[in-house]
Structure 1
Amino acid sequence: MNYLKKILPALLILAAPVAAVAITPPSAPQRPVQPAEMKGSTVTGRILIDGQTPLDGGVVYFFNAATGPAPAHDRYWRVPDFMKQLDEAGRFSLKLPEGSYYLGAVKRLSGRLVGPPQEGDYYFTSVDEKGDPVRYQVKVPGDMDLGSLSGAQPFKSGGTGYRKGITAVEGTVVSEEGKPVRDALVFAYRSAETVGRPLYTSYPSSPNGRFLLRVGEGGTYYLKVRSVYGGSAPVAGEVVGNIGQKESQAVTVKKGELVKGVVVKAKRFAGRGPGSARAVTPQAEGINNETKGR
């Protein structure tokens, strides 16, 4: 499917040596799961819009509860650990390692294929009768069918600006000449190496280079900037970020507060060559394996 070919690279995040801004991790970083270690159970289900209409062509997301908070699109956009495209009936089937997971889904109609959902996209989060995100316990062995999950609705962003009580970093992405860079995505990592899969991502930077990166908890995060949401090594002409310092700058964010004035420098990647970024296996290795051949 053309859609799948476009969105699949979204979670293959690059271990590019692009230093960025730092914000002291709330917890120790998780060790990436290697392909040989991938053991899991098959999880199946179906996502519906109104109880009858399938969320066909959308993508189901699974968020590991051990590596981050529950998804909360009104406060931050967490990068999913695993994903799988839904078929024409809104069904999915994928293998997940043993653990506890939150579930969400998006059908993108806005034109932007990656990053947080946009106004007009369909969005779904599995919640209980109290509105709290449901945790699905995956056991190995032990395949599970989640049945039909209904309630996908048109997404309403409420704007991309800052709201009181949100934990966030605000700043500007600029070129080496100091000019604003638009449509750059700012990723937040828990470790200074900024490799593998990030935990959070911003909306694309505005025409004046402004970005707002919302995170789920206070602490220190390390930021990386690119003009695309993942992929292999950057290609010639792509925007990559570098703050122009030998060491990352640490910025501490307290829960419920906003850090302002972060300036992240970006430049156009000149092309492949010695020292260029290399692709790595993301923690969510199953994303690639589960979606091949579709």
Structure 2
Amino acid sequence: MKIAHFCRSALRLLIVALVAGCAWHTPQQTGDVTEYLTQDGKTGLTGHVYVSDTSNPLAGAYVNVYPDTLSNLLGPSQFISSPTDEQGRYTIENVPPGTYYIVARKRQSGHPTGPLAPGDYYSQNERITAEVRAGKLARVDIPVVPMKAPMFFKKAVTDQRSDTGICGRLVDPQGQPVPGSFAIAYLDDDLKRAPDFASTLTDQQGRFVLYLPDGGEYYLAGRVHAWDMPRPGEPYGIYGSTEPEPLKVEKGSFIEEVEILMTPFSGEYKPGKSRRPAIGSGQEK
């Protein structure tokens, strides 16, 4: 199948982004900056990491700075802080002016990198963005929550580009885009388990590109959060009317203009369960 104009444009932009150090998914909003501080002409970020439920400062956390969402804010970042102090404070200097995604994590192991596990803290679902301005420190206070279940994905979300995949949009019932989310793909219709592949985060128009390693039949869903089953009211959707429908993707081509309707999840939330809800019934399949 011929690649759509959007897919071709997205591929070109992603290649240019890697060369130029920018990205197609550059965040547009900058409302997460509390204030700008002047400190000896330093440029970067500063603030506190705290536990969302208690507002207590979190010591030993690392703050990661990503220029884009190609890796779904997983894996190595462009900048990383030293561990936060007893008051949860961090500062990252020499960050060039620009708009970034900010993520805070604390692993029980004490390591600054590596997979997250139950009991670790992270802020990824907040999708915090900040605009760094020359000669100022952008103050960003970051709430974190404990990881209650293993990471939703069996393996790190891939950001590797290929010549095979699916392009489309995630939309709400009014046809409006659902940004900051992702499409996920399965090799079978068992939607209870962790997905096999995931797209990069959707942009402000709800668009996604899901790269696949090979042709075949894939079942699609749309998600907002990656590490747990949907909560009531959380946008969630599948490709298909009431049951998952497979999409056949030919090797070396893209299926275009796939749309997934995201509606509020009405099923029961079970803490610590990374299982899929039943389709249409609101119960587990």
Structure with more relative contact order (C-alpha pairs < 8 Å, separation 6 or more):
1
- Structure 1 length as normaliser, TM-score? 0.39
- Structure 2 length as normaliser, TM-score? 0.41
